[in-house]
Amino acid sequence: MIKKIILLVAILGPFGLYFLYSWLLKLEKKKIPIVKLSIASIILLIVALGILRFYGDFDPNTKYSPAKYEDGELKPAENK
């Protein structure tokens, strides 16, 4: 879940900060710098994906076993 939040912040963060900034300063007549905000968003997305890739919790050799029912109870998924 935290990975999804980090990715959403990386994508939407620059746009949200700009609109908060323009709302606080009442900049209504200024054009929105969509290209600069998009580039900042892409850079943050690449950094976030790199961090999530290299600081993951799982070894590449782990084996995933999906959730299953045993004796009428749902056993959670495991990484062995």
Alpha helices in the chain (DSSP H): 2-25, 34-54
The pLDDT, as a whole number, for residue 67 is 92
- What secondary structure letter does DSSP report for 66? -
Is the pLDDT score of 15 beyond 80?
A: yes
- List, for residues 46-61, the tens digit of each pLDDT value: 888 888 878 766 677 8
CA dihedral sign, ordered 40, 41, 45, 51: positive
Amino acid 16: pLDDT: 86
Domain boundaries, the chain: 2-79
- Give tens-digit pLDDT for 20-49: 888 877 766 677 788 888 888 889 888 888
Task: Give the pLDDT confidence score for residue 58 in this predicted structure.
Answer: 67
Phi, psi of 57 (to 5 degrees): -90, -10
Q: How many CB atoms are located within 10 Å of the residue 9 CB?
A: 14
- The residue among 20, 24, 55 whose CA lies nearest residue 37 is 20
